[in-house]
A and B are shown apart, each in its own frame.
Chain A
Amino acid sequence: MSVAATTQPAEKRLSLLVTVLAFALPVIFVLVPLAIFLVYSFFSVDQGTIVFAPTLGNYARFFTDPIFLPVFWNTIVLCVSVAVICILLAYPAAYFLTTLKGRWRYALLMLLLVPLLMSYVIKIYAIRSILGLNGFLNKALVALGILDQPSTLFVFNMNAILLTLSLLLIPFAILPIFLSLERIPQTLLRASDDLGASGLQTFLRITLPLSLPGVASAASFVFVLAIGDFLTPQMVGGISGFTFGRILYSQFGTAYNWPFGAALSVALAIVVICAILIGERFGRNRGTSI
């Protein structure tokens, strides 16, 4: 009796501590930094030092200066395209995986995820030497007789960014789609078969609708990762591939204009949060209706 009486408050205290930590960590490491960012975006810079007087100037500049909105818009279009390409390539791959039996399925899945173990910068370097004018891709296309001479179509421009980002982010699309496909009960497919539906009908009316939540979260994953990237555009974008991430990066590096950089980040964060919310909403609606 007495033992239980002494341990109970101790246990209670421990669980209270755990609860406090569980709430405190995200607050300290996520919410507070975000709040600092938000506050900084209302400051300004004069002669290389930050002026701590609130102003809306940074936001006004973002909306009125002719360079930021077009670049912002182009970047969103670019990242939506990346998401679409990733989905189109990842869906068949994930579907193929689910048709495999037993350990093959997971062995192949692991193989598809192996690129994630490699440093991201090394991958960009490798891709860049593949895409160059004397790169592997051009040499192969010329050798195969598809092109007469090396093409500049994917050398240091938006196409190069599109290709590189798609290649880098495909694993992030395969995984959620695979998981949602795998969750579809086999009984539904068998029932459809019993009722005389063709393979295509079963796919279009059962598999595809039930896998859409996975597609939605894959798309939002890829979009968010692509839009936050500044290194890929910086390294393969050349002169025409100028993206919002590169502008942001320059505000913190060479320009030393943190407040304006913070305001641009807030704009980016709003888009990212919207993308996540949309992905989440689609994911949940379909998921609960099974």
Chain B
Amino acid sequence: MGLKKAFLRLATLGLGIGLMTSAALAANLRVLAWDGYADPDWVKDFTATTGIGVDVVFIGSDDEIWAKIKGSEGQDFDVFAVNTAQLQRYIKADLVSPIDITKLSNQKDVLPRFRDLSQVSGDTKDGKVYGIPFCFDSIGLIYDTDKVKPAPTSMSVLWDPAYKGKILAYDNGEHNFSFTALTLGYKDPFNLDAEQMAAVKAKLVELKRNVLSFYTTADEAQQIYQNNDVALIWANYGQQQVKALQKIGAHVAYVNPSEGALAWLDNWVISKGARDTAAAEKWIDFMLTKKVSGALSERTGFGNTVVESSSAGGNDKLVWLNNVEDPLKRSDLWNEIKATP
């Protein structure tokens, strides 16, 4: 008898707790982000100051974000992180809502290059703002300070015969066409016409003859660096790669080329299915505080939009990555370049 009573009481208690948490869950802000964008201590601070609970789901790839948002037509999340190259796709599919910047008190204090969002390619459509940039990294040049003197200022150093066989480039047709187009001075590196494409291809064949190898992962580049005479690395992994190399005692430095460095830029966006737009706006505004943004750069090595960081100086020219005219064509040409003797 006593046991049955205790059991019943336990069950009621359990039910009560379950109802309470589900009620709490119902009001919580649902955030979808990459690892490093919503650390537990920030979430705790946010809840403490605003009284809004937060549930964070982490994702591992662009395709996964698309699958999660598109799969529920945006109903499963209030706010999520996505890069500028991807954002247009979400706008076109009507999965994100325009953002009222006047509600974001911290947006007016961001670094100059992010203040006017109409100037940030990919963030706006028809005059409406859809994405608030908060994290970026450039794809610059890593050089060995003992071997490369004076310090390079342009990617054109990769074609310098003085460094023949001492260069590590990245094995990706899309990016290689874009950065070479910038080096050749083309305005829009993501939309090349046939003539420009041919010129870039010829230039990349020359590059191929000057490099030691093409790498794919940051670890791989590091291993090759350790066992060979490498002077220059085209740094697909930006600051993370520099820091890892410096940790093993390499004398390397990082530079964003003067003709413009390719760079990715992640934005906070508000989903079409957001239950509480005001809470989502508060989250974005909270992420744009000096404290959180500064910590983001310190912890990940990426640049942020509020405090100056080592990813890029104020005068560095950054070219935000965008969808290219024909990925298949670039990939085929890249194979042709690699097969050219």
Chain A contact residues, CB within 8 Å of chain B: 45, 48, 67, 70-71, 125, 128-129, 132-135, 152, 155-156, 234-235, 238-240, 242, 246-247, 250, 254-257
Most buried by A among B171, B174, B212, B339: B339
CA distance A62 to B224 in the complex (A): 33
B339 contacts across to A, CB distance below 8 A = 67, 70-71, 242, 247
Number of interface residues of B (CB under 8 A): 30
- A133 x B227 contact (CB < 8 A): yes
Asked if A45 contacts B223 (CB within 8 A), the reply is no
Q: Does B243 contact A (CB under 8 A)?
A: no
Minimal Cβ-Cβ distance residue in A for B326: A47
* In the complex, B244 has a CB within 8 A of chain A: no
Closest CB-CB distance, B221 to chain A, in whole Å?
12
- CB within 8 Å of A: which B218-232 residues: 220, 223-224, 226-229
Residues of B contacting A155 with CB < 8 Å?
212, 228
* Contact digits for B135-174, partner A, Cβ 8 Å, 1 yes 0 no: 0000000000000000000000000000001000001111
| Residue of A129, A235, A254 ringed by the most chain B CB atoms within 10 A | A254
Q: Are A247 and B213 in contact (CB under 8 A)?
A: no
Q: Which residues of B contact A (CB under 8 A)?
A: 165, 171-174, 208-209, 211-214, 216, 220, 223-224, 226-229, 327-328, 331-332, 334-336, 338-341
Q: Which residue on chain A has the smallest CB distance to residue B219? A: A125
Q: Contacts of A132 on B, CB cut-off 8 Å?
A: 224, 226-228
Q: Please report the C-alpha to C-alpha distance between residue A239 and residue B210 in the assembled complex, in whole angstroms.
A: 9
Distance of A152 Cα from B212 Cα, bound (Å): 10
Point out the residues of chain A lying under 8 angstroms from B174, CB to CB. 254
Tell me whether A239 and B208 are in contact (CB under 8 A). yes
- Chain B residues contacting A125 (CB-CB under 8 Å) are 223
Closest residue of chain B to A246 (Cβ to Cβ) is B338
22 contacts between A and B (CB under 8 A): A48-B328, A67-B336, A70-B339, A125-B223, A128-B223, A128-B224, A129-B226, A132-B224, A155-B212, A156-B212, A238-B212, A238-B213, A239-B208, A239-B214, A240-B341, A247-B339, A250-B335, A254-B172, A254-B327, A255-B328, A257-B328, A257-B331
Do B327 and A235 touch across chains, with their CB atoms under 8 A apart?
no
**A-B contacts besides A67-B340, A254-B174, A255-B331, 5 pairs, CB < 8 Å:** A48-B327, A133-B229, A134-B229, A239-B211, A255-B328
Residues B229 and A67 in contact, CB atoms below 8 Å apart: no
